[in-house]
Structures are given as structure tokens and as C-alpha cells.
Copies of this chain bind each other. A is one copy, B any other.
Amino acid sequence: MDVIVGGGVVGLSIAWRLARSGRPVTVVDPAPASGASHAAAGMLAPVSEVTYTETPLLRLGAASLRRWPAFAIDLATDAGLDTGPGSSEEPFAVPGLDLRSDGTLDVAFGADDLAALDELAAYMEKLGLRVERLTGRECRRLEPMLAPSVRGGLLAPGDAWVDPRRVTAALLTALGRLGVPVVRARATGLLRDGDTVSGVRLAPPAGEIPADRVVLAAGAWSGELADVPVRPVKGQIMRLRSPRPLLGRCVRGIVHGSSVYLVPRGDGELVVGATQEEMGFDTRVTAGGLYELLRDARELVPGITELEVADVVAGLRPGTPDNLPVIGPSGTPGLTLATGHHRGGVLLAPLTTAILLGEESELAALCAPERFRDIS
């Protein structure tokens, strides 16, 4: 039996795909779907998020985004949710998961921002990515609530987004229907049989669970069970409630040097994210975090001022030294890693499951744990 340690979007996705393929599997998590996946905005935006140094991450993201339509339709079907038309043509949509693919709009304010946007557009085109350079007026025609001071933008028409809370809820439903146990306990250590990992130890009074394989998908906490170079990167995020949708697609911008994005939900909610803070295992919502989000979001879309604050949370992303996830056999028999997804857990969940099921050998090499020494 496989034991998956971690009930976030990555661990639950792995468990679901394994169970679907007929393998016996158990999930262990003291509070499933309550960590980084609960805080995540759910942008599936590999193009919009590309940076000059991270083409490997772009390749992973683009490959995973291509897998999202089928992943979402299968998941919505298994969970008994609305799959929509069921086609993977663009723009695709899966209403039951609030998945939409109307693109992401990056906007610029000053002349410097515009020049940077032009350079980025040229770089993206060189990479063969589909992007459209827009004037300020064209941006506002697409998104009339944008600030008048927006000078130009870059539309990544293939980027998508999803509601991560619906995804994890659907995964839990699907696992329930497949008869997969979800043990609500904390894994405190790995059982070993000589050099081989043979299960997990649970916090008292829950005991132990033997396993043929342990898949460590514990996000920022993965380092507590194995020697994997993952650190917590705190993100604070805010959900605003709007009587009617304010935006038709994801909007991002660099404001005061920090990146802010707004993700619209089908029910009118607007997610504003996110801080990136190196604060250890600190999940406090702070005055400074909220201030930064509100200040920057108001610059992009002044109309948010009147919206109700529905929810503010902080989550911990599992960051790695090279910003790439750590997926695959750990080097220790019986222990497989599926962690270190940093800001991309939701986007990369389909690809992660594909790698673990042996369906993506080329990209698997980019994520292989052996690139870090001293993994045990």
C-alpha cells in the first residue's frame, strides 16, 4: 500500500490518481486541505508568471496546464460536479471547479514598466509563447475596472485559473467515493526496516501505518520527515466579496516593486494575492501584509475599495533552492518525494501525478530529487 503524507492539492491528487489506477492508498494529514492549498489563489498561469531565469519552471507549468482540462473533467466527474461541455478546446471551463481559461492580463503603469513589458513580450515570443501586447486603452476595453493610469499590458490568452478550495473538496469527495482512507493524524516520523522506509509513525494515539511506499507530499513541513531542502515561504492572501464580477480574467501588475494579482471567482469573489515572506513557520495575518495587498490592489483596480473583506489567510509555500519541485524516488528505498512546489502546487498537481505514474519521463528529470545532495 502507498501512504501519502500530506492532504494538500498535491497529496490528494496523487492519492486520487493512484486509487483510480487501482492501487491501495491511504492519506495521512491532521487537517487535509487547510494549508497552502487553502490559501492559494489558483492561478494556472505559466506564461504570465515566466521570468527570464526560469524556463525549466515554464516548461513544467506549460505541460501541467495542458493536462488541467482532462484532469479537471475527470475530477469533476468522479466528484459528481458540473463538468461543463466537457471539451478541452479553448477557452475551456469546468464550472464545478470554477476552472476558466480566459487568460491573464499583465499590466504596466509607468514608462519603465512599459519598457520592461516590451522586453518580456519579445522574450516570450522568442520562447514561442502566445502573448498579445496591448495598449492601455485596449487593456481597459478588456477590463473596464482597471485604473486609468494603466499604460499598457500583455495578455497571455491561454492562461487559466481554478478555485483550489473546490479542487481539494472535490478530491476529498472523489477519494471518499473510491474508498480511500484519509487518516486525520500528524505523521511524526518514518518507519524503517533496515535502509528501507516501511511506513509512517503517527502522533499518539494514532499509532503506525505500514506502507510499501511512502509518498511525502507535506509541503512546507516535508523537511520534518526527510532531509529535503524545502523551506516555508509565507503568503498572505485576501478574498473580497463583490455583488457582481469586477474582472473577467486574472489581472497582474507590478506595483511599488511588488507583484500583486487579482483572480475573479464565478461567485463574484475576488482573490487578492499575495505576499512572499521568509518568516519561518509563521502564519499570522499581519497589519503590514494586509496593507501591502490593499495598497497594491487599489492601484490596479480602484473599485475594490467598496468590496467586502470575506476572508484573509496566510499559508506556507514549500520553497526549494532552485524554485523547482522535488518529485520522484528519494534515493531511500520506500520513500518517494512530491514536494517543493512553492507557488505552483495547484498548477503542477496534474503534472506531478503524471510523473509519479511514469507518464512524463523527460520532465521528470527536471524535478528529480537527486539534483540535491544529502537527500535521505
Contacts and interface: CB of A to CB of B under 8 A. Distances in A.
Contacts of A287: 238, 240, 294, 297-298, 304-309
A147 interface: no
A284 B305 CA distance: 12
A238 B286 CA distance: 11
- Chain A interface bracket (under 10, 10 to 19, 20 to 34, 35 or more): 20 to 34
Interface string A280-296: 00001111101100110
A309 B290 contact: yes
Contact of A288 (B285, B290, B305, B312): B305
Nearest to A308: B284
Contacts of A286: 305-309
Interface in A299-326: 304-309, 312
Contacts of A297: 287
Nearest to A236: B309
Contacts of A305: 286-288, 291
A127 B305 CA distance: 40
A308 B288 CA distance: 9
- Which of A285, A294, A297 has the most C-beta atoms of chain B within 10 angstroms of its own C-beta? A294
A291 B298 contact: yes
A51 to B, nearest CB: 27
A214 to B, nearest CB: 35
A243 to B, nearest CB: 11
Interface in A238-295: 238, 240, 284-288, 290-291, 294-295
B285 A308 contact: yes
Contacts of A238: 287
A314 to B, nearest CB: 10
Contacts of A306: 286-288
A34 to B, nearest CB: 19
A307 B285 CA distance: 8
Nearest to A305: B288
Contacts of A291: 291, 294-295, 298, 305
Nearest to A309: B285
A304 B289 CA distance: 11
A216 to B, nearest CB: 30
A238 B288 CA distance: 13
Interface string A73-97: 0000000000000000000000000
A294 B238 CA distance: 15
A295 B290 CA distance: 10
A306 B238 CA distance: 17
- Which of A240, A304, A305 has the most C-beta atoms of chain B within 10 angstroms of its own C-beta? A305
B285 A294 contact: no
Interface string A113-154: 000000000000000000000000000000000000000000
The 10 A-B residue pairs whose C-beta atoms are closest, nearest first, are A288-B305, A291-B294, A284-B308, A285-B309, A287-B304, A287-B307, A240-B287, A287-B294, A287-B305, A286-B308
Given A287-B298, A291-B295, 20 more contacts: A240-B287, A284-B308, A284-B309, A285-B308, A285-B309, A286-B305, A286-B306, A286-B307, A286-B309, A287-B294, A287-B297, A287-B304, A287-B306, A287-B308, A287-B309, A288-B306, A290-B309, A291-B298, A291-B305, A295-B295
10 contacts: A238-B287, A284-B309, A286-B307, A287-B297, A287-B306, A287-B308, A288-B304, A288-B305, A290-B294, A309-B312
Interface of A: 238, 240, 284-288, 290-291, 294-295, 297-298, 304-309, 312
